Amino acid sequence: MSPQSEHPIRVLFVEDSFDQALLVKSFLKSTDGFDVTHSQDGIHAAELLKAREWDLLITDLNLPGLDGFELCRMARSVANPPPVLAVTGYTGKHYQEAAYRAGALDLLTKPINKDELLTKVANLTGMGAAQAVPGSRAVLAVGGLVGDVEMGCGGTLLKERARGTNVVIFPMCRDEMDTSGRGIEGARKAAGILGARIVVDEVALDSTQRRVSLLAQLVRDTRPAVAFIPAMDDAHPSRREAFRIAKMLVGKVPAVLAYQTVTTGLDFRPSRFEDVAEQMVQKMEALAVYQEVGASRLDLAPRLAQAFARYWGRFERFGEVEAFEVLSNGA
C-alpha cells in the first residue's frame, strides 16, 4: 500500500503512552509515504493542529491537558480540517458514539492491530484509492443503504476512476436486516475494488442530524463536479431519506444524477445512459463481496446488476448500461 500523492501524508499522532506511540509509529513507518509527528498531550497537540495543515489526525481519547474529544472538535474548526481517527481502550457504545459526535470519522479500539490500523488509515486518506488532490476532479456518490452505489452507478464510478477522478462513497443509513454489521465490511471491500474512498460513520447510520452535518462537510471538502444520489421515486424509506437530504445539500454541485435501485418506482425517467460494458465484470466483483462476507442481499446480486444494465442497453446500442435521471447538468 502506498499513497498516490508525490508528498508524504502528514499525520499528527497524539498518544500519551510512550509504548503505544512507538508501536503505532512503527506500524505507520512500515508503509512508505508517512510523515508522522507525535505529541504526548492534548494541549501541545492543539497548538500543532492550529499551526500546520495535516492530512490525518490520529488521537487517543484519554489524554492529559486536553482530551481527545476536544481535539476532535477542534479539528473540525481549522481552515482545512483533517479526517480524524480516534483511538480508545473503551468498548462501550455510548463512549464510541461520543467520539463520532465530536468529529471522529472512524474509531480504533486497543489493542491496536496493524492491518486494521493501516486499513482505516487508507480509507481516511484515500491511499490506494481516491486520494483527494486539491484542484482535481471529484465525484460524490451517496447511498441510502450500503451497496446501493455499487449497484446503481458502480460502472460509471469505475469509468471516473480510470480518468483519474477522486471518488467518495457515503452510505447514509443502516440496513436493519444487517444486525452483524457485515454489510459495512462488504462496503469497505467493495469500495477498494472500485478504487473509491468510502466514508462510513456509525452515528450517521442511525442519526439524521449526523447524516446532514457529515454530508454537508463532505460536499465542502470534496467540492464534487458530480453527485450521484438515489432516485426520488423509491419505495424504501432509507433511500427516500437519502434522496431528501442529498438533494438539499448538493444543490450547488454542477451535475446531480439520480440512479436506480431495486425499489425505485415506475416514475423513474432516465435521460442519461452510460455504457459500462467494459466495467461490468469489475462492478459485479464489487457486488459479489457482499455475499463473500456473509451479507447476502437479493438486491445486490451481481446477475441482477447485469440484468438491469442489459435492460437499459436498448437506449445505448444494446450494450450494458447504467441509467440516470438528470437533476442538474453542468459537468
Q: How far is CA 268 from CA 39, 182, 204, 256, in A?
A: 53, 30, 27, 15
Of 156, 328, 146, 136, nearest to 247 (Cα)?
328
Residues of the chain with pLDDT under 50: 1-5, 128-134
How does DSSP assign 159-178, residue by residue? HHHHTT-EEEEEE-S--TT-
Which tens digit of pLDDT belongs to each residue from 281-304?
Answer: 999 999 999 999 888 788 999 999
| Domain layout of the chain by residue ranges | 9-125, 138-328
Question: Which backbone phi and psi does 329 adopt, to 5 degrees?
Answer: -145, 100
- Report the C-alpha gap between 283 and 142 in whole angstroms: 17
pTM as predicted: 0.63
Domain 9-125 and domain 138-328, same fold? Reply is yes
**Which secondary-structure segment (H or E) carries 150?**
helix 148-162
- Report the C-alpha gap between 179 and 181 in whole angstroms: 6
Whose cell is 482545512? That residue is 80
Residue 310 CA to its chain's centroid (Å) = 28
Task: Give the three-class secondary structure for 211.
Answer: helix
Whose cell is 479539528? That residue is 75
Q: Does domain 9-125 have CATH number 3.40.50.2300?
A: yes
C-alpha cell at 3: 499513497
Q: For residue 128, what pLDDT is reported? A: 44
Query: What CATH number was assigned to the domain covering residues 138-328?
Result: 3.40.50.10320
Q: For residue 209, what pLDDT is reported? A: 82
Q: For residue 250, what pLDDT is reported? A: 92
Return the ∠ at Cα 214 (arms to 180 and 283), rounded to 5°: 55
**Which secondary-structure segment (H or E) carries 86?**
strand 84-88
- Report the C-alpha gap between 243 and 125 in whole angstroms: 27
C-alpha cell at 200: 462510513
Q: For residue 330, what pLDDT is reported? A: 64
